[in-house]
Structure formats: C-alpha cells, structure tokens
Amino acid sequence: MTYLIDKPEQLENILFIIGPIPSSIKSLAYDSRKVTSSGCFVCIKGQQTDGHDYIQAAIDHGASVIIGTNKEILLEYYYKRPDLTFVLVRNSKKALAQFASTFYKDAHKHTHLIGVTGTNGKTTITAYIRSLLNALGTSTGSIGTAGVWDQHEEITFERSTPTTPESADLHEIFSHLHQKGTTHTVMEATSIALHQERLHGLQFDVAVHSNLSPEHLDYHETMDNYREAKMMLFNQASKAVVNIDDDGMAPDILKSFEGELWTYGLEPDADVFAENIRILESGTAFDLRFQGKTYSVSVPIYGMHNLSNVLAAFTTCLAQGHLPEEIIRACPYIEGPPGRFQIIQAYTGRQMILDFAHTPLSLKTLFKSVESFTYNRMILVITGIGIREPELRPGIARAVEGIADEIIVTVDHPGDENPEQVMNDVVAGFSDKPTHLHLEAKRGKAIHKAMSRACEGDLILITGICMESFQIIQGRRVPYNDLEEIHSYLTKHAFVTPS
C-alpha cells in the first residue's frame, strides 16, 4: 500500500492500515460494480447511499484494498478477510482524490488547469476559452456539462455527474488528456463538486468567475453556503478572473483573493471592458478597452450575456500571457458548446434555435438575445425539470408569459415524478393561461409539435437541458437526443435527406 501513499496529506488523512501490503493495485473505484481483480474500493457515504454497504460486493468483484471511514465495519470485514487490506481514513472524499492523484501518476500536474465557476455561463465560458486557446496554438481540452474534449474532438467518457466528475474519474481524464498531448485543461467547477471535495488537491492556474444567483439551494440551503462553496475554487488558484458587473460574488473575491487579479465587464473600472456594442447578423461587434488602448473586435456570438462570457474568455487568455492582438485574431474561431444558442439551419424557411435556458433568468436572457432577429411568430418550447425543486417550475411560466405566440410545455428528466404534475407545476405560474398552449410530456414529441406548428418565417425556440444524451426516468438513464429528434422530423417531412 505504501506505493499509493507518497504525500504527507495522505498520511494525515489515514487513521490506520491493517492487513498485508498488496503487491499491486490495478484499479481504483468508488462504485463496487466497477471494481476489478486486485482493485481498490473507496467507500463514499452520500446523501442516499453509503459505500460501506457495498464492501462485500466490491470484495466479490476482486477488491484487495478497502478504504472507508467506518471503523467498526472495516474491522468486521477484516476479521472475516484478514488476507485483504483495510484503510481507515478521516475523510473518504479526500482519500479518493488523494489516491486517484497517485494512481494516475499526478497527471494533473502536467496540465495548466483553468477552473470556471458561477451560476450561469460556466459551460459557454469553458467552450470559449478552449476554442480561443486552441486557435492561439495552445493544446487545450475541457471538462464539463458539454462533455470531455481534447484539443481536437469530444472524448467518450461515462459520466459520473452532470458537470464536474468525481475525483477518481477526473484524474483518469487528466491522464488521458496528458497522453493526447493536451497542455491546458479548462473545466467547470460546480459548487456541489467543490463542497464534496472532488477538486481536492488540485491547483489551478486561473479561477474564472461568471456570476451568482440563487440555484441548488435544495443542496446548499442558504445563499451564503452556496457562495462559500464557490469561493473554495479561489483558494486553489494562483490567478483570478472576475466579472466586476456581478454583485452576487465579485465583491467577496475582490476583497479576499491574494493572487494575481483580473477583472472584466461592461463598466470602465474593469481591466477589460466592452463599449460601443453593435448587434450584427453575423454576431456581435464591439470596442474592447484594455490598458488605455481600444481594439475593434467581432465575434460570431449573440446576446449580451454571451458578450460577458466572451470577455471572461478573452481576459483568461490575457492572464495566460497572450497579447490582445493575438486573441483578437483568434476571435472569429471562437466556438460555443452544443445546445447554447445553437442555430439549426436545416429547417427551410424557419429559424430554429436550441438553448440550454431552463431557469427564469436564463430564459429572460435568451429573449433579449433574439431581439435582433426578424420573424413572424415565435414558437416556444419550455420545460419543467423533474429532478429539480418543484417550487422553481412556476417561475418558468412567469418568465415567458406574453413573449411567444405558441407555447409547448414539456418535461426534462422526470425522474420519479409524474410528468403531468411537473407540467401542471409550470402552467400554474401563468397569470392568464395562454390561448395557444400545448402540453406534451415526452420531450421529443414536444419538439415535433413545435416544428409542426411553425410556418414559413417563424422562429422556433427549443429550451431546456437540450445537450444531454439521455433522460432520467424512474432512476434510469434512457437514451435521448434533441438533435436526433429534430433530424427525425425533418427527414420525415422531406426537409433533409436521411444519412
């Protein structure tokens, strides 16, 4: 076991080790189903399950080392299996991160880490930074809601969480990216991941802040707890890039951060700020001010919120040592993530946009982004989310009331809830029930409904968690993809040729 213990903090976390020192460890897992022969199983106690309950299953799968925090249970199994090794630790989440780092040969130390946190914009900022750095010649991968990407393409990895992977998975990804020649990795750092120590032991070159508004309070309970969790990222970073326009969290970072500090925004007191903003058919143009100089910039993005995200990415590249002139030349190559204001070109005569907006604030922001578009009618798909707090659903209806000509209400990730109830929760938020309101529980059918209601010259907005490859239904991940549903409709109605 000593070969897995090579850091002082690991020793500080270990209370005792009993059993023989294994000759080798071939795998590291926190899911007993993924344990292999001569594997190490770390017992994680979560909100719904306790890894200690699966020790026997891990042993049956070939585990030779068991790490946990329950002394009585570990000793009980040791008396049954003295041929195995049992490690008692103070904190199993930290232990998983520490042992994963060692198991994957500290691969994270071979990449420059950039962490992005905030309520909205994390996924888009991450994609923008990745695409800009790659355009600047820096081999950059990314990790987050949009999946795992190296400098060239998306990589297939089974997700352990929707956004920030568990530490063991994270270190495996770092190892893979290192083997692919990736020198920089930008990743989303969620408040829950930070609170749960998934990023324990990582040192970030840059921590990027977008904004803070109420979310995940079912987990954090209070806004103070939510803010404190996100602030943890800046305790692990050498540089900070801060949105000075955000009152929710920026003042705390500016007050407490002791490293190199960069600010961005739409106000002149930011280090990097935008003015003279023009909305074009091809995107957005603006004047960028930095160190007393003005630069003309054009980017193929839409919406003021995305302009803020561009400024975050631009400032991060500056913090990485790139010159403003170099970054401006790379701006035409900036790319957003799938499902973030994704324009679908295949529906002849109609405009069609996929967007991840699924909160009242993000929907309002989306509507501002399409104000420059010319169209006859707006056909809108909105969604209630079964695995989120029910009290959030009525706000979706309030945010869209009076905006669209036709509204289709559907459900994302119904989970264990009745989809009809989820939709009714959303509809309850309308002060006056819209005349052209349609309810369709299955998301694919809702998209087909929206497309069928659109006439030439109309705009179709499909909102919700539209970049996932599955829907969570009764505890199962059922394969599902918005783009496949769109393609199916277009093919059926002869707008495209089947591939």
- Are the C-beta atoms of residues 366 and 472 closer than 8 Å to each other? no
- Counting every residue written for the chain, the total comes to 499
> What architecture (CATH level 2) is domain 342-492?
Alpha-Beta Complex (3.90)
Closest CA to 101 of 31, 42, 22: 42
Say which amino acid occupies 311.
Answer: L
E strand or H helix at 449, and its extent?
helix 443-453
Sequence-distant (≥ 6) Cβ neighbours of residue 69 within 8 angstroms: 43, 45, 52, 88, 89, 90, 91, 92
Q: 2-103: which CATH number, 3.40.50.970, 3.40.50.300, 3.90.1150.10, 3.40.1390.10?
A: 3.40.1390.10
- Are the C-beta atoms of residues 315 and 261 closer than 8 Å to each other? no
pLDDT at 466: 67
Alpha-carbon separation of residue 181 from 178, 335, 417 (angstroms): 5, 21, 44
Domain ranges of the chain: 2-103, 107-333, 342-492
Digitized pLDDT (tens) for each residue of the chain, 499 residues in all: 435 666 677 778 999 999 998 778 999 999 999 999 999 999 999 878 999 999 999 999 999 999 999 999 999 999 999 999 999 999 999 999 999 999 999 999 999 999 999 998 999 999 999 999 999 999 999 999 889 999 999 998 887 787 999 999 999 999 999 999 999 999 999 999 999 999 999 999 999 999 998 777 778 889 999 999 999 999 999 999 999 999 999 999 999 999 999 999 999 999 999 999 998 878 899 999 999 999 999 999 988 889 999 999 999 999 999 999 999 999 999 999 888 888 898 898 999 999 988 889 889 989 988 888 889 999 999 999 998 889 989 999 999 999 999 999 999 999 999 999 999 999 999 999 888 999 999 999 999 999 999 999 999 999 998 677 889 899 888 999 999 999 999 999 877 544 4
Closest CA to 16 of 119, 86, 80: 86
pLDDT at 1: 45
3-state secondary structure 120-156: CCHHHHHHHHHHHHHHCCCCEEEEECCEEECCCCEEC
Angle, to 10 degrees, between the axis of helix 419-427 and the axis of helix 393-400?
Answer: 50
Question: What's the whole-model pTM score?
Answer: 0.83
- The yes-or-no answer to whether 107-333 and 342-492 have a common fold is no
CATH fold, domain 107-333, is UDP-N-acetylmuramoyl-L-alanine:D-glutamate ligase (3.40.1190)
Structure tokens of 361?
Answer: 């604030």
Dmax (CA) for the chain in angstroms is 75
Structure tokens of 78?
Answer: 């040791």
- In terms of C-beta distances under 8 Å and separation of at least 24 residues, what long-range contacts does 415-418 make, across chains too? 415/386, 415/387, 415/472, 415/473, 415/474, 415/475, 416/386, 416/474, 416/475, 417/386
Q: What's the sign of the alpha-carbon dihedral 451, 457, 458, 464?
A: positive
- Are the C-beta atoms of residues 232 and 193 closer than 8 Å to each other? no
3-state secondary structure of 249: coil
CB atoms closer than 10 angstroms to residue 144? 25
CA 412, CA 431: separation in Å to the nearest integer?
23
Say which amino acid occupies 297.
Answer: V
pLDDT at 12: 86
